[in-house]
Amino acid sequence: MAGCKQHTPEALAEKAKVLRKHVISMLGEAGSGHPGGSLSAADIMAVLYWHELRLDVETPHWPGRDRFVLSKGHAAPILYACLAEKGYFPVEDLASLRKIDSHLQGHPDMRQTPGVEASTGSLGQGLSIANGMALAGKMDNADYRVYALLGDGELQEGMVWEAAMTSAHYSLDNLAAIVDYNRLQIDGTVQDVMGLKGVAERFRSFGWAVVEIDGHDITQILAALDLARGTKGRPTAVVAHTVKGKGVSFMEDQVGWHGQAPNAEQVQVALGELAGGKE
């Protein structure tokens, strides 16, 4: 009923590699989906689910659990990989991704999938959902924390900044927003589609505590979440600089892999690289 804080950074890095393998395998089987942003978030997700989040797999709705909202819902494969590895449902279910009657659809559905806290997919809404959870915790004098993972392209949605203003207004220090800053979105670079410079400064201007990190450095991720937990009186934004498609050489920093599944040959190449430790 707690986070697994005994895991070393090395063990968490190995767990992230396992998660990446699941992402590749399930997308190859499905023939569709979003590998780029799932792979870029793997290290962050490994730290969240095997170090940070207080959870009770046997009682998914335990009131004292921490809450996680995948605001960038198209990265559902990395969330499903975490939930399966944690034991919310069998790992074998991952092969059913995006298939008819599967509980693992292209975007998370809290009504169908154990461990999913919020149905997401329409970008820009996750931080508002997380605000509601965090504000409820404050009103109930509960000690759970809330974490939301956003994409950098998602920050182009105006609703995100309305939510950011709300988070600071209500002093939601039990909330942390993590931005998977991989610089690419479906139509090209984030900068070309809708220029978004100075993300850290933007969050600071809305009254947030902010830390910028290498989103693939486990030690930096751990330190950022420690800082967020210790920050009082305001929410914390973690701007995590990442590489789209991280861990698979032909996917890394390639916009075409935002929403394209690997074919059978590419799956084998990718799994081989991950098995060989190529990062």
User: What number is the average pLDDT over the span 259-265?
Assistant: 97
Predicted TM-score (pTM) above 0.75: yes
Which whole-number Å values give the CA distances from 250 to 176, 254, 273, in the listed order? Answer: 32, 8, 10
Would the pLDDT of 70 be above 50? yes
Question: Cα torsion for 147, 151, 157, 158, to the nearest 10°?
Answer: 40
Full 3-state SS string of 42-99 = HHHHHHHHHHHCCCCCCCCCCCCCCEEEECCHHHHHHHHHHHHHHCCCCHHHHHHCCC
pLDDT of residue 4: 53
Would the pLDDT of 3 be above 80? no
Which whole-number Å values give the CA distances from 157 to 6, 56, 256, in the listed order? Answer: 38, 33, 22
Going along the chain from its start, the domains and CATH numbers come out as 9-275 (3.40.50.970)
Would the pLDDT of 180 be above 90? yes
Would the pLDDT of 255 be above 80? yes
pLDDT range class, residue 190, cuts 50, 70, 90: confident
Would the pLDDT of 1 be above 60? no
Would the pLDDT of 279 be above 60? no
Question: Over the range 222-247, which residues count as b (16 or more CB within 10 Å of their CB) and which as e?
Answer: bebbebbeebeebbbbbbbbbbbbbb
Question: Over the range 3-38, which residues count as b (16 or more CB within 10 Å of their CB) and which as e?
Answer: bbeebeeeebbebbbebbbbbbbbbbbbeebbbbbb
- 3-7, 123-127, 220-224, 247-251, range with the lowest pLDDT: 3-7
User: What number is the average pLDDT over the span 114-129?
Assistant: 97
φ, ψ for residue 37, nearest 5 deg: -75, -15
Kindly report, residue by residue over 217-252, the tens digit of the pLDDT: 999 999 999 999 999 999 999 999 999 999 999 999
User: What number is the average pLDDT over the span 185-211?
Assistant: 92
CA–CA gap between residue 248 and residue 267 (Å, rounded): 10
Q: What proportion of the chain, given as a percentage, has pLDDT over 70? A: 97
